[in-house]
Structure 1
Amino acid sequence: MQYFVYGRDRAGAGELKASLTPEHWAFMDGYADTLIARGPTLTPDGESTTGSLHIVDLPTLEAAQSFAYDETYYRAGVFDDVLLCRFTNHTPGTMWDFTSAAAGLNRYLVHTDDAPRPLSSPQIILYGDLSALDTDQHLGRAVLLESPDPESAAALAQADVSQVHPWTFGGRR
């Protein structure tokens, strides 16, 4: 089963997070074969992180909870909160399979709480529906995409611009 794990940084935790990045990557290396997407969300200027996104394929809810809550950043108090939910992937493969990268475009995570709807564009890296861990209750969508700016990203994902977060590929495969 696939899971969406999004830790949003606590204010003022940037230095702590930076100091723990090697440990975080070592933790993630243990999940290398299960990662579908990963990477930090960023401030609009791209200079600082605002969160850490992972989409991972794990066999059980308990394994997903361990992934989310045994992770280095979480244990050290870097995150203000962590969103953990099921992810239904509507694109084949992983972010590393994305072959339509275009020069001059930025990458974004669009995280909405709206109804499911099909999306189609060569600029979409990955997208899927989010649902509750223990029911089929729909919680929204997550879209990873390339776009010239947040407004264009919102239009492509059929979302409000306030739901758009600068994002980039992270870690190592």
Structure 2
Amino acid sequence: MEYFVYGRDRPGSGDLKAKLTEEHWAFMDGYVDALIARGPTLTEDREASTGSLHIVDLPDVEAARAFAYDETYYRAGVFDSVLLCRFRKHVGSTMWDFGEAVEGYGRYLVLTEDEPRPISSKHLIIYGDLIGLDDDTHLGRAALVEARDAESAAVLADADPADVHPWEFGGRRD
């Protein structure tokens, strides 16, 4: 089963998060075969982190809770909040299957609380519905897209209103 985990950084936690990056990556190394997408959300200028996104395939809710709440950043108090829910993917397989970025485009996480709907675009990396952990309550939609700007990302995801965050592929930088 796929799960969506998005930790939003607590204001002023940037130095702590930077200090814990290697420990965070070591934790994620244990899930390398289960990760569908990962990476930080960023400020508009893409200079600082605002959160940490993971879409992961795990056997059950208990494993998802362990993934979200045993994670280094969470345990250290980096996050102000964590959104943990099931994810029903409609488009994309993993972020690594998507390919190279288009010049002049950035990558974005688009969240919305509206109803399910089909969307398609060659700029859609991963797209799906956010579903309650313990029931089938539809919570909204999430899309990882590439677009010229945040407004274009919301239009591509057919999301109004939308919560749009600059995002980039995550993982070790070797």
- State the TM-score, normalized to the length of structure 1: 0.97
Task: Give secondary structure in 2 for the equivalent of 1:136.
Answer: coil
Which residue in 2 is equivalent to 1:78?
Answer: 78
Distance 1:89 1:155 in 2: 19
Trace 1:50-65 onto structure 2 (pairs within 5 A). Answer: 50-65=50-65
- Indicate conservation of the 8 Å contact 1:150/1:161, yes or no: no
Distance 1:100 1:128 in 2: 21
Which residue in 1 is equivalent to 2:67?
Answer: 67
Structure 2 gap ranges (5+) = none
Distance 2:119 2:125 in 1: 11
Task: Note the C-alpha offset of 1:114.
Answer: 0.6
Trace 1:1-173 onto structure 2 (pairs within 5 A). Answer: 1-99=1-99, 101-160=101-160, 162-172=162-172
- Indicate conservation of the 8 Å contact 1:151/1:161, yes or no: no
Q: 1:102 to 1:161 in 2, by over 3 A?
A: farther
Of stretches 160-169 and 46-55 in structure 1, the one that deviates more from structure 2 is: 160-169
Distance 1:161 1:45 in 2: 22
Task: Give secondary structure in 2 for the equivalent of 1:27.
Answer: helix
The CA RMSD measured in Å over matched residues stands at 1.3
Task: Note the C-alpha offset of 1:100.
Answer: 6.3
Q: 1:4 to 1:151 in 2, by over 3 A?
A: same
- Indicate conservation of the 8 Å contact 1:101/1:123, yes or no: no
**Paired letter, 1:8:** R
Task: Note the C-alpha offset of 1:121.
Answer: 0.1
Task: Note the C-alpha offset of 1:160.
Answer: 3.3
Distance 2:51 2:37 in 1: 14
Structure 1 gap ranges (5+) = none
Task: Note the C-alpha offset of 1:72.
Answer: 0.1
- Indicate conservation of the 8 Å contact 2:92/2:124, yes or no: no
**Paired letter, 1:43:** T
Task: Note the C-alpha offset of 1:101.
Answer: 3.2
Task: Note the C-alpha offset of 1:163.
Answer: 1.0
- Indicate conservation of the 8 Å contact 1:38/1:171, yes or no: yes
1:36-73 per-residue CA deviation (whole Å, 9 max, x = no partner) reads 00000000000100000000000011000000000000
Stretches of 4+ moved more than 2 A in 1? none
Distance 1:99 1:13 in 2: 32
